[in-house]
Amino acid sequence: MHHDACWCPSLPTCTPAPRRCTSPTWQTRNGQKPGSGTGSSRVPAPEHATPEGAQSWAWNDKSKTWQANLRLVTKFSTVEDFWALYSHIQLASKLTSGCDYSLFKDGIEPMWEDNRNKCGGRWLITLAKQQRHTELDHFWLETLLCLIGESFGEYSAEVCGAVINIRAKGDKIAVWTCEAEDREGVTHIGRVYKERLGLSSKVVIGYQAHADTATKSGSLTKNKFVV
């Protein structure tokens, strides 16, 4: 772990909306309530600073636009603060459809338009409906630990944050990076992420540039890279 780091989480926000990358931030949408988290053998030791500051966001008023609803919930810069947050929010699998959680580096907003995100993209994991109660929470926690633990080595600086979308047709988890044209960095992050999630070599995950996603529907967006 490096010093001078801070991540920011956000409360649950419901309803799909553009995402933005800023400093580490938890961006949550609708339905965030106290809950219990789970431990992990890969968690950094106590009293360690996270690589960068983090912030948490929330959105849950469908009568307002997504951007008007987005609000910063909290920031954290230590592993202890992360676990304090994680253990007091509802697990992703318990959220209602239409809700999102997100964690981004301090200074980066969870939206495509943010300067750190607009030239980037995302590694996208799509889960079947039946996986919500078997693998979703594990995958999301592993994703968060990858971010705050700088699991991507020299390319960790390229990671902006992560978002989880709870949807009726199937949930999604995405890791956002800042430079979609950096093939070496993007593919390294994708390989490490896939390994950390314990996905089979037969499973293929794709990376989509935000510029492509913003102009096409999610199902029509072409993968720029795959691992």
Q: What is the pTM of this model?
A: 0.78
Residue 210: strand, helix, or coil? helix
In tens, the pLDDT along 175-184 reads 999 999 999 9
Give the Cα separation of 218 and 227 in Å (integer).
Answer: 19
Q: For the chain, how big is the Rg over CA atoms in Å?
A: 16
Position 10 confidence tier, pLDDT thresholds 50, 70, 90: low
**Please, are residues 28 and 9 in contact by the beta-carbon 8 Å criterion?**
yes
Angle between helices 79-86 and 136-148 (to 10 degrees): 160
Q: Is the pLDDT of residue 187 over 70?
A: yes
pLDDT at 34: 28
DSSP characters over 5-50: --BEEB--EES----B--SSEEEEES----------TTPPPTT-EE
**Please, are residues 49 and 78 in contact by the beta-carbon 8 Å criterion?**
yes
What is the average per-residue pLDDT within 142-168?
Answer: 95
Q: Is the pLDDT of residue 84 over 80?
A: yes
Q: Mean pLDDT, the chain, as a whole number?
A: 78
Domain ranges across the chain:
55-226
Give the Cα separation of 144 and 26 in Å (integer).
Answer: 9
In CATH terms, is domain 55-226 a member of 2.60.40.10? Answer: no
In tens, the pLDDT along 112-130 reads 899 999 999 999 999 999 9
Query: At residue 137, what are phi and psi to the nearest 5 degrees?
Result: -65, -40
Looking at per-residue pLDDT, the higher value among 81 and 74 belongs to: 81
**Please, are residues 73 and 58 in contact by the beta-carbon 8 Å criterion?**
yes
